[in-house]
Amino acid sequence: MSARRAYELIEFWIATPWPLTRPEVQERAAQLGWVVERNALMNPVDGLTQPAVLTGVLPDGTFGSLGFRVTDVVRDGGTQGAEFLDDQFALMVREGVERWGTPRFKRGRAQTAEWHLLDGARVVARRSNTSVVLEYTTPQQSAELHRRGE
């Protein structure tokens, strides 16, 4: 998935009036061509081999986060796979910098770049050992994370 396409998807969710329930998120996701399969949100539009959309729900039943892969899963643990993921992560960070400025970087089991948006939401680009993921965290979930010191 191109960085431009990935961030168009993120911008779609940023423009969404939060909070929303699961049915409301699924209804909006249909506008992107995303579907529900076995009670899970999927992105079949962008041709990734693992199209699952990772979701988080707050205790009150409203959505807290949506994350999706922007690369296929790399099973080759060698240099070529690592370079591919590094390049894709760099493209995602560059696109985010153009939109929101310098992110906060973290290293751990995964390398992340995190932007805190004016409405309180967060966007995270994450490079793991197997893929690159973009995640949108709603203002409500971000407030909860902030209260917990995260």
Helix pair angle (79-100, 3-14), 10° resolution:
50
Residue whose pair of structure tokens reads 């290293």 in the numeric block: 107
pLDDT in tens, 57-116: 999 989 999 999 999 999 877 888 899 999 999 999 999 999 999 999 999 888 999 999
pLDDT in tens, 10-62: 999 999 999 999 899 999 999 999 999 988 999 999 999 999 999 999 999 89
pLDDT score recorded for residue 75: 85
Q: For residues 143 and 53, what is the distance between their CA atoms, to the nearest angstrom?
A: 22
CA angle in degrees (0–180, nearest 5) for 113-8-84: 50
pLDDT score recorded for residue 134: 97
